[in-house]
Structure 1
Amino acid sequence: MSARTDLPPVPAPRTALITGAGRGIGRGIALGLARAGYAVALVGRTQAHLDEVAAQAAALGAMTVTATADVVDVAAVARAVSLVEDAFADLGGIGLLVNNAGVIERAETHLVDDDVEDVWRVVETNVRGPLLVTHAVLPGMLARGGGRVLDINSGAGHRATDTYTGYGISKGALARLTTAIDAQYRDRGIRSLDLAPGVVATDMTAGMPMHDERAQWTPVEDVAELVLAFGDGELDAWSGRFVRAGADTVDSLRAVTGQVLATDARRLRLSAYGPDDPAV
């Protein structure tokens, strides 16, 4: 698909559903959006964690709603999305979906030495989860004429690594989902974005040996700033593309938007060996 600069405005309310919102990056995103005046729906598996974040968001003046669901359970996802849509009905429904919930393998090792069932657990959670939630949220967005879907991705989605095979597979597939949503629905007012959070200090990264000696971390506030900019429409021209917190800022992305659109950069694709490559 060729780059488009004439995208129409998206009539999306300042409401957000965030999965995996009870801890870590999801919590930081939820509080960042709440601080900016968004109504936030917190979805996760543990009600106690959601309640803690909801109390913090409410203290910032935000309307909040919580819904427990395992994102790989289609019935639970449908119930959670229905609950949130009902709660946000007077506000215009769900305007922004943040697919944040995700996991990583228990062992930092190569594929042959890994537990293939654990590898599949990661692929299923990180791909089926966003797929089910997006599938449940999109009809409402389309009926209202627009909305935004942001997928928390990773450099592992486009760059091969020598460990965490399932994580890399899952994030590559998630990037393809982001581009598919853009290709199928951009003309109906849907915008999608892959956002890699960098390396944020969370329970997940604390359990990864590769980060044992790390001294510099990406502030979760940097992640929330990019999510907020996307939710507010400032990055709509980047729909179907990839940004990274800790490297990209709202200002730096604005500065290179023309160049990115002209070259159709930051999009998942097969690289050609030349202009005559028949496979591209």
Structure 2
Amino acid sequence: MTTRTTPTPHPAPRTALVTGAGRGIGRGIALGLVRAGWDVALVGRTRAHLDAVAAEARAVLDAAGRGSARVLVAQADVVDAEAVAAAVARVETELGGIGLVVNNAGVIEQRETDLAADDVEDVWRVIEVNVRGPLLVTHAVLPGMLARGSGHVVNINSGSGHRPSPVYTGYGISKGALARLTTMLDRQYADRGVRVLDVAPGVVVTDMTQAMPLHDERSEWTPVEATVELVDAFGSGRLDALSGRFVRAGTDTPETLAAVADRILAADARTLRLAAYGDDDPVA
């Protein structure tokens, strides 16, 4: 296990940027972070959806007597490098820095099928959105986080990144690649104060999940509040020891993770890795 030094950081601003914030899980995370006391930037492709969530967020703030807290709309397609750079620059200027990024924007194949029967262009579209998006957003926020010596990145991931599936090829590939991005960022920047975590939200009721045939008979869903709880705890620094690893909403909580953190670290668990057949495996 790698020994890490801790930099002397400047306090991270309690500001969060959430991608895909106009609908679904992103909307739920954004509103949950507002309730938890964060200033929040909403990023997504469709301005009308973002404006609607911003109005909801401001109503939450007004009801809580926190009208001075900030909610910012920054429209951008996460696969457009120039749009992402411009959105991040605006958020940093108007919110005074970004302390937490939630890479939530993502898509899945239009059909539930295997690769041979799928449209390879649709498969690639899924990979591009789900990998290029987080890559561009994280690349854009890293300079500010590194200059400050503190910051948190949450990648909204899935068990599909670790478990093979007979369907949704692009989605599985993309989530596996996202898990590798998480481990790479942790290795490169944890010593410089930037922490990163894969958070799987479970199966949340959204337009995307309800359109998936494999969920047709599902009666139990994971509340988005469980994801918010993990994201808030990590962004607040309470789960820093688990940087570079994978947690799942609805199964893990900040309290249960804190209780088993030493076991996770000792076993080097909850991370993307090649399993060896033994101590003598030459590729381990």
TM-score by length of 2: 0.95
Partner of 2:24: 24
CA RMSD of aligned residues (A): 1.2
Partner of 1:137: 141
Partner of 1:45: 45
- Change beyond 3 A, Cα 1:162–1:199: same
Q: Tell me if 1:175 matches 2:175.
A: no
Q: What letter corresponds to residue 37 of structure 2 in structure 1? A: G
* C-alpha deviation, 1:146, in angstroms: 1.1
In the alignment, the residues of structure 1 paired with residue 196 and residue 3 of structure 2 have an alpha-carbon distance, to the nearest angstrom, of 14
Q: What letter corresponds to residue 72 of structure 1 in structure 2? A: V
1:175-196 CA-to-partner distances (Å, cap 9, x unmatched) read 0000000000011100000000
Identity over aligned pairs, percent: 70
* C-alpha deviation, 1:88, in angstroms: 1.1
TM-score by length of 1: 0.96
1:191 aligned counterpart, secondary structure: strand
Kindly tell me the number of residue pairs found equivalent between the two proteins.
Answer: 276
1:90-117 CA-to-partner distances (Å, cap 9, x unmatched) read xxx1000000000000000010000000
* C-alpha deviation, 1:59, in angstroms: 2.0
CA contact (8 A) 1:41 1:67 kept: yes
Q: Tell me if 1:247 matches 2:251.
A: yes
Partner of 1:236: 240
1:112 aligned counterpart, secondary structure: coil
In the alignment, the residues of structure 1 paired with residue 8 and residue 132 of structure 2 have an alpha-carbon distance, to the nearest angstrom, of 30
Q: What letter corresponds to residue 18 of structure 2 in structure 1? A: I
In the alignment, the residues of structure 1 paired with residue 27 and residue 2 of structure 2 have an alpha-carbon distance, to the nearest angstrom, of 33
Partner of 1:56: 56
In the alignment, the residues of structure 2 paired with residue 124 and residue 68 of structure 1 have an alpha-carbon distance, to the nearest angstrom, of 19
* C-alpha deviation, 1:52, in angstroms: 1.1
Partner of 1:71: 78
* C-alpha deviation, 1:60, in angstroms: 2.4
1:144-192 CA-to-partner distances (Å, cap 9, x unmatched) read 1110000000000111111000000000000000000000001110000
In the alignment, the residues of structure 2 paired with residue 6 and residue 69 of structure 1 have an alpha-carbon distance, to the nearest angstrom, of 36
1:195 aligned counterpart, secondary structure: strand
CA contact (8 A) 2:7 2:149 kept: no
CA contact (8 A) 2:195 2:240 kept: yes
In the alignment, the residues of structure 2 paired with residue 101 and residue 236 of structure 1 have an alpha-carbon distance, to the nearest angstrom, of 23
Q: Tell me if 1:13 matches 2:38.
A: no
Q: Tell me if 1:202 matches 2:234.
A: no
Moved over 6 A (4+): none
Partner of 1:262: 266
Partner of 2:64: none
CA contact (8 A) 2:70 2:95 kept: no
CA contact (8 A) 2:40 2:72 kept: yes
Q: What letter corresponds to residue 81 of structure 1 in structure 2? A: V
Partner of 2:90: 83
In the alignment, the residues of structure 1 paired with residue 91 and residue 149 of structure 2 have an alpha-carbon distance, to the nearest angstrom, of 18
Structure 2: runs of 5 or more not aligned: 62-68
CA contact (8 A) 1:3 1:261 kept: no
Task: For 1:117-196, list aligned pairs within 5 A.
Answer: 117-196=121-200
1:204-246 CA-to-partner distances (Å, cap 9, x unmatched) read 1011000001000000010111000011111100000000001
In the alignment, the residues of structure 2 paired with residue 70 and residue 194 of structure 1 have an alpha-carbon distance, to the nearest angstrom, of 22
Moved more, 98-107 or 257-266: 257-266
Structure 1: runs of 5 or more not aligned: none
In the alignment, the residues of structure 1 paired with residue 4 and residue 135 of structure 2 have an alpha-carbon distance, to the nearest angstrom, of 27
In the alignment, the residues of structure 2 paired with residue 240 and residue 132 of structure 1 have an alpha-carbon distance, to the nearest angstrom, of 18
In the alignment, the residues of structure 2 paired with residue 9 and residue 16 of structure 1 have an alpha-carbon distance, to the nearest angstrom, of 21
2:85 aligned counterpart, secondary structure: helix
